[in-house]
Chain A
């Protein structure tokens, strides 16, 4: 009963560059499998958007073990984009995922601009995907990935190429491993991006002093979790001020307060990655936490908070 009253009172929905979400919470690519893996622990129909594992044109086997390593208030990962390839994803995985009425976002990575375009064309032909997040920022694969995300000209080209293949909202995911995040964000906007996703993991490494070797099979890995939150907040703040595109913000969110910080510096929606590993029901809990906050503050909707802390 009270729940119904709440729903009438506040509007938690978000329009992220044309992609409608019932609430501002997304689960981040690579941390939530294909949406099914966590279904015993969280009601996935209560999540604003499920961004599935990064998908490439061909199948990829991924990197050597160990692929993950815990660091202070964070973790390194070097999965290496293990995935079955776009055709298997679209033909075998997608049909059963669609039935839940979950807002599904694809996350794609290519070796070349043409590959990004080709994957997008394939996705566009299949119903059931609400948007495409472009992984131009994966630090864990030799080809493609991050190299696209660090050169403004390439960022623009990739986004343009994908936009010409699909009507779906296109959301480039920016790499934090750059000197000037704003110039990259502007390049994505100039290419026609509908929204921006930020940030991906920060490149890092760990050393095993007993073996006198890098810990990870891939040597380098991407740092995620609470440790990266201040960096993510700073970058979103900078981009929000300069670029007029909705932002899907994330990096280290583990509770409602964290999510609010991201929204206050300009994120229209937030993504939760590593936090799912700590608490599998976190997405649902934060969605509820944000709603409670909006009610307590006497606001009409979550949108009123976006960028409120930006000076």
Chain B
């Protein structure tokens, strides 16, 4: 069950050019959290900016009740978030939405672009615990805008990076790197989160090779709980009707989604 909690900030630091990592204690939310779900955060006490900001669960330590977020400064809200100091309280709703389908004992590929890598770390942790064989492909524009792959490495999960400017790893699109690095016959499932063009390239490849998978989508959100119908999106399978990203997603079967 989702809940509202005042999290206690433990740390909040810059880990890249516009990239930050925040850790806070919110044991109630942490205990309920599944990979792919998100939290809805109030970034200030007054009413401008007004709405909460949705952020993915980057990592969870259920024993400590600790939630870690990875966020990119995109505007005023995330900028205010970066001003939180240790020992401050933060108003959090969560976990919200439906997360990823957690397979058992399969061979899976995780593809993250930019800050879209965030939900894939917690996912990798849970997939690892379920005896899956995991390979992570992580793309970004430049190394200084990406988080360190260490957290994946520490899980014992293989990760390859690609940057558009070649500052680290493969130079070019992460999806191009992925295509040349994997054997589609040995893949059971894809999980992807990032820019839609990137997810579309993953989905296209998956269709070609008849592999299933899931994508995590974004849309502007107000309520985050399915009450306002603000985050609607059409799926291929639902004709004219819309689904709610916040409640029916943000994770959807890859082949149900019309990627832009």
Contacts and interface: CB of A to CB of B under 8 A. Distances in A.
Interface string B238-254: 00111000010000000
Given A62-B242, A277-B223, A53 B229 contact: yes
Interface string B1-40: 1111000000000000000000000000000000000000
Nearest to A78: B230
Contacts of A62: 229, 232, 242
| Most A Cβ at <10 Å: residue of B219, B223, B228, B230 | B228
Nearest to B233: A65
A277 B230 CA distance: 11
B228 A40 contact: no
Contacts of B66: none
B225 A79 contact: no
- Interface size, B (range): 20 to 34
B223 A41 contact: no
A303 B82 CA distance: 45
B195 interface: no
Contact of B52 (A74, A225, A278): A278
Residue picked from A72, A77, A225, A280, most chain B C-beta under 10 Å: A280
Given A277-B222, A278-B42, A280-B93, A70 B230 contact: no
Nearest to A68: B230
Contacts of A65: 219-220, 231-233
A281 interface: yes
Given A41-B93, A61-B241, A67-B232, A280 B219 contact: no
Interface stretch (B43-51, B109-117, B164-172, B184-192): B43-51
Contact of A278 (B51, B229, B231, B242): B51
Contacts of A225: 47, 50
B226 interface: yes
B227 interface: yes
A73 interface: yes
A60 B26 CA distance: 39
Contacts of A31: 223, 227-228
16 contacts: A32-B227, A33-B225, A40-B2, A41-B2, A62-B242, A65-B220, A67-B231, A68-B230, A75-B50, A79-B229, A82-B242, A225-B50, A226-B48, A277-B50, A279-B42, A280-B225
